[in-house]
Structure 1
Amino acid sequence: MKKTPVPAWRKALKRLHFPIDVILLCVRWYLAYSLSLRNLEEMMAERGVAVDHATVHRWVIKLVPVLEKGFRRRKRPVGPSWRVDETYIKIKGRWKYLYRAVDKDGKTVDFLLCAHRDKAAAKRFFEKAITQNVEPEKITIDKSGANLAAIDAINAERGKLILVRQIKYLNNVIEQDHRTVKRRTRPMLGFKNFWMARRILIGIEIMHAIRKGQLERESAGLTPAEQFYGLAA
């Protein structure tokens, strides 16, 4: 008899001695709302669940890769006109750079946390975004020379021209979109580890995209919470 496949989130959370619904609830709240890990520890204690804040953190780190796979598989296509910018994220007391792109309607295209803000980092982000999405017709950036050089390099390699615009007011949509991510990271008071920061930021971006209605049509009519649990399954 054929074995029933084990859901990916059950593999990720194997040997964790808490009910699955408690784990998923804590992970969703942490990624979706401006809560610290200790806030969650207190909130769960009020509900009769004794869970340490460090345990919640481990759940988040383990589950985010599963969420990302589901998100990439079910994400709706974005438009061909992108707005790209980077925002600052503090890790171990130093500023790092979260590259982000949205289309002209504000839908999330892609994101990547980088240690540096230079041509190599920008090119890595653009290549990732293009691989995961349909190649854009035009990209709007700020006056960053590194971003412009990265797109020029990609144009030279691909032989297909992506139009570049450096018009500040057109990038207001991405600058406004940064605020949601920054608002969520503020209670964290800075990350202690680059790798963990990257995972947590992926989870935050996924929840943000879910709220913007970016999952496949089958998710229409479901609440953001229900769509989140669908990704975990």
Structure 2
Amino acid sequence: MSKIPVSYKRHRFPRELIAHAVWLYFRFPLSFRLVEEMLLERGIVVSYETIRRWSLKFGAEYVRSLRRKRAKRDDIWHLDEVRVVISGHIHWLWRAVDQDGYILDEILQKRRNTKAAKRLLTRLLRKQGVRPRRMITDKLSSYGAAKCELRLSVQHLSRKGLNNRAENSHLPLRKRERTMQRFRSPGGCQRLSTVFSAVRNFFVPPAANANALSRHIHRLQAFAQWNTATILAA
């Protein structure tokens, strides 16, 4: 099925500028006002409210045009949940990353129980299409219960220190949360985290790229594919 392209009609700024502003906002923990200031330094006068509208309209569309990492049967899933307070109410952001730190999925939920863990695992199995070789979690018993309900026959480890990869994956979004002075609504948190993590996935080199040259090549390829995604949206 062909994708319906996003239209840039009735936008007085060129596509390249819109794409760059959206990239700045989602790639780094910047506020709309800081992106406005960075563009102004280059002689481009655009309001932070305009940048906000661009991010809402184009962010998710760009991400849908980016290629996802292909799942493999020998992947290792690291699962974790982090507490997020929104308008005085406690929510839990459930996240799954693989052995390279690539964020596979994340979902904001009100509960921290078996039903919530099962929902995360069900989404993961549907999106990835294959079962992992191993699943690593913290000591929350809900993961084991959800695994049993789904009859998921994979190795499950939950020892202390094994899940640092998933716990560290929360840090970039925590920085973004501080920049925004907390999230305003559950829907806004889910939308931003989905695009923010997808862009981060694309531009941050995997841990296997240990030298400067491989990291440089990875980022050049990411920029090329990002530019292609924004052109496809034209």
Shorter-chain TM-score bucket reads: 0.7 to 0.9
Structure 2 residue aligned with 1:163: 155
Range with greater deviation from structure 2 (201-210 or 108-117)? 108-117
Structure 2 residue aligned with 1:84: 79
- Please state if 1:33 is matched with 2:24: no
Q: Secondary structure at the match of 2:101?
A: coil
Aligned length: 218
CA distance in 2, matches of 1:122, 1:28: 32
Structure 2 residue aligned with 1:184: 176
Preserved contact between residue 99 and residue 125 of structure 1 (Cα < 8 Å): yes
Note closer, same or farther for the CA distance 1:6–1:180 as it changes in structure 2 (3 Å cut).
closer
- Please state if 1:23 is matched with 2:21: no
Q: Percent identity?
A: 29
TM-score normalised by the chain length of structure 1? 0.81
Q: What whole-Å deviation, never above 9, does each CA across 1:20-72 have from its counterpart, x for those lacking one?
A: 1111111100111121111112222222322221221221122233233223x
CA distance in 2, matches of 1:54, 1:115: 30
CA distance in 1, matches of 2:41, 2:180: 22
Q: In the TM superposition, what is the alpha-carbon distance from 1:220 to its structure 2 partner?
A: 5.2
Match of 2:132 among 121, 133, 136: 136
CA distance in 2, matches of 1:100, 1:202: 11
Q: For 2:157, give the aligned amino acid.
A: R
Q: How does 1:53-202 map to 2 (within 5 A)?
A: 53-71=48-66, 73-77=67-71, 79-133=74-128, 134-155=130-151, 160-202=152-194
CA distance in 1, matches of 2:145, 2:153: 14
CA distance in 2, matches of 1:199, 1:101: 17
CA distance in 1, matches of 2:183, 2:62: 21
RMSD between aligned residues:
2.5
Structure 2 residue aligned with 1:228: 226
Preserved contact between residue 80 and residue 137 of structure 2 (Cα < 8 Å): yes
Q: In the TM superposition, what is the alpha-carbon distance from 1:223 to its structure 2 partner?
A: 4.7
Note closer, same or farther for the CA distance 1:229–1:195 as it changes in structure 2 (3 Å cut).
farther
Preserved contact between residue 44 and residue 51 of structure 1 (Cα < 8 Å): yes
Q: Secondary structure at the match of 2:38?
A: helix
Note closer, same or farther for the CA distance 1:51–1:90 as it changes in structure 2 (3 Å cut).
farther
TM-score normalised by the chain length of structure 2? 0.81
Q: What whole-Å deviation, never above 9, does each CA across 1:124-173 have from its counterpart, x for those lacking one?
A: 11111111112123211111122222222111xxxx51222211211011
Match of 2:44 among 41, 45, 49: 49
CA distance in 1, matches of 2:9, 2:107: 28
CA distance in 1, matches of 2:161, 2:154: 20
Q: In the TM superposition, what is the alpha-carbon distance from 1:94 to its structure 2 partner?
A: 3.1
